[in-house]
Each structure stands twice: as C-alpha cells, then as structure tokens.
Homo-oligomer: A and B are copies of this chain.
Amino acid sequence: VKILLIGFGVVGQGFVELLRDKAQELAQRYHLRPVIVGVATRSQGTLFHPEGLNLSHLLDAAAAGGLRQYPDSEGVQRGEDIKTWIQRSEADVLIEASATNLETGQPALDYCMTAFEAEMHVILANKGPIALAYNELRAAAHMVKRVLRFEATVMAGTPSLALALDALAGSTVLEARGILNGTTNYILTQMHQGQPYPEALAEAQRLGYAETDPRGDVEGWDAAGKLLILAATVFETRLTMHDLQVTGITGITTQDIIDAKQAGECYKLIAHITPQGGSVQPVRLPLSDPLASVSNALNALTLKTDVMGDITLIGPGAGRRQTGFALLADLLVIHRTQAAALE
C-alpha cells in the first residue's frame, strides 16, 4: 500500500512512528506492508520517493525542523505543486492530516477531491472537509469505488465513528452526547484539583493537548466541529455552526468550581447533538453521572439508539500516538476491503 501524507505535525508524526514501530506486526498479523511514498506540508513543500521514504529519517527531519532536513539520497524528489504531486504519485491512499479549517475546509478539500480523481482512497484527520462537505466527498468516493475514512476527526483513535457507522449499522442513532474535546476536559480536571485556569492551560499546552492558539479548544469550536461531523455522518444531515449553541470554558471561574464541588458536582464541557441541532456548553454533573468519571484527556460519547438504547464509549481523545492510531485503523479497514474485493 503506497501512501501520501499531507501535514506532518503531531498526528502525522504519531502515525509514522506507529508504522515504524509496528512494521513487523502489521506484516505478520494483517499482511499489510505500508510504504510512505510522499509527505507534504504547507511550509516546507513536497517530498517524494517512488519506492518509499525512510520512516526514521522522516521523524528525524521533523525533529530537526521539517521536511527540508530529510537527506537528499537517490530518488528523492522535492518541490512539486501539491495537486500535481498527488496526480503523479500513483499512490493508493491519501492521508490528509494538515491543520483544520472549519470555515472553508480548504485547501484539504481540494486535495481530497484530487485524490479521488486519481482513484485513491482517502483518510482524513483534518476535520474541515468532513464537517463542511461530507456529501460531496462521499459522492466522489462512490463514483470511483474508493473508500473514505475519517476516524481521527472525532475522539482521536478511540473508535467512535467505527462504532456509530460500522458496528451499530442496523440500528438508528437518535442523539449523541459526550465529552469531545480532550484539552478542555484536561483543564477542567486540573481546575477541580485546585489549579487556576492559566496554569492548567499552560500544562495542557506543554503536554501537546492544546495548540499554541488555544481558542478553538477552550471556546468550544473544536467540539462543535465534531458535532457537525456526527450530524453529517451519523444523522446524514448537514448542519452548520448556526445550528449549534456554543459556549466554551473561558467563563468558568475558580469560584464556580468551588461551588460545584461543594454541591457534590463537577463541570464538564458537554457536547450534544440531534438531527435538528445541538450545543456545546459547560454543565454541572452529579458525581454519579457516568460522564463525571471521564477525566483528563479522556473523551466519552453516548449514542442513544432505537434498538440498543444507550451505548457509551470512553477512551483517549487526544495525544500523538492515540490520534495517529486512528489513521492506522482506517488504513486497516481499507486493506480489509481490498482483500475482500480480491478474493
């Protein structure tokens, strides 16, 4: 399986680390031998090798400042336009793991469409294209009989979308409610342990959960983007941010936390969605609520279904390898689908 990777931040690097560390296991257990033939970033352009880039050299280059640090061995090609690079690659899978834009989904959306035109499968960690243009992507995939996967976009590698879309196929999801942002859940957990907000935020940034500009997380927009993805994919309904009431955690004071604790309750940033609309807002939960025990960077999602009632999934919602794992899981789904098609 030949892979192109766009974006080489925390998630892309986590994925490449997993491929490097699990190469033997993937070959033996799943007969999967992934090869990264190209990596591209917005700031450092494209890198390509038709027989595969060296994974350790890629990780070393990232640690040393970026793709330009990758050694110039024989066969290495650089500096193409990204769309041309996709079209000429003859790769099987495009992985889009660049930074999310929830307003236009670009340029990732164009790259995905270019990949489908080149008859590639597409895996996204980037939330923008799925939140904004899921129907178009699905139609494009269907047209060329290729697979579209996007597990990393909700709850990192915790398989929330595989649960809702694959494992629970045959039931109808009526609504979904959960804790969908790891950064804010980490900050709230720390605040309940007595840390003031600025220190908790700084710690979340130090651990790699929060971005340098944390507004997308702490103002609730990241969780809201995930609700748009659930609406588009699970309810097959296109909602926009205007259909959601979004409040972040920046208004929660130390006194609010003290008051909640004295009442035997705790604050969680709860995301809730139905086919009609949804909300992201801080909610005081009694400690007996199952979501109250979901702490630090864990996330949780409860799906209310027609046949099965409530099904709850709890697991990591952030982290380098935990998000990179989602890309590997999607790659294995594509590999299984191909294997079935070849039988």
Contacts and interface: CB of A to CB of B under 8 A. Distances in A.
Interface of A: 18, 22, 25-26, 30, 145, 157-159, 162-163, 166-172, 287-290, 293-294, 307-316, 321-322, 325, 328-329, 331-332, 337, 340-341, 343
Contacts of A315: 308-312
Nearest to A311: B315
Given A170-B328, A314-B290, A329-B170, A157 B340 contact: no
B311 A314 contact: yes
Contacts of A167: 159, 162-163, 166-167, 329
A315 B293 CA distance: 17
A315 B171 CA distance: 14
Contact of A159 (B158, B163, B332): B163
Contacts of A30: 169-170
Nearest to A331: B170
Question: Closest 3 interchain pairs by CB?
Answer: A159-B167, A162-B167, A340-B340
A308 B312 contact: no
A145 B315 CA distance: 34
Classify the interface of chain A: helix, strand, loop or mixed. mixed
A26 B332 contact: no
Given A290-B293, A308-B315, A341-B343, 8 more contacts: A157-B307, A162-B166, A168-B329, A290-B290, A307-B325, A311-B313, A313-B314, A341-B341
Contact of A332 (B169, B311, B325, B341): B169
Contacts of A157: 307-308
Contacts of A322: 307-309
Contact of A26 (B25, B170, B329): B170
B158 A308 contact: yes
Nearest to A310: B315
Contacts of A158: 308, 311
A91 B187 CA distance: 56
A44 B172 CA distance: 35
Contacts of A311: 158-159, 313-315
A22 B315 CA distance: 32
A105 to B, nearest CB: 26
A343 B342 CA distance: 9
Nearest to A145: B343
A309 B169 CA distance: 26
A77 B332 CA distance: 44
A338 to B, nearest CB: 8
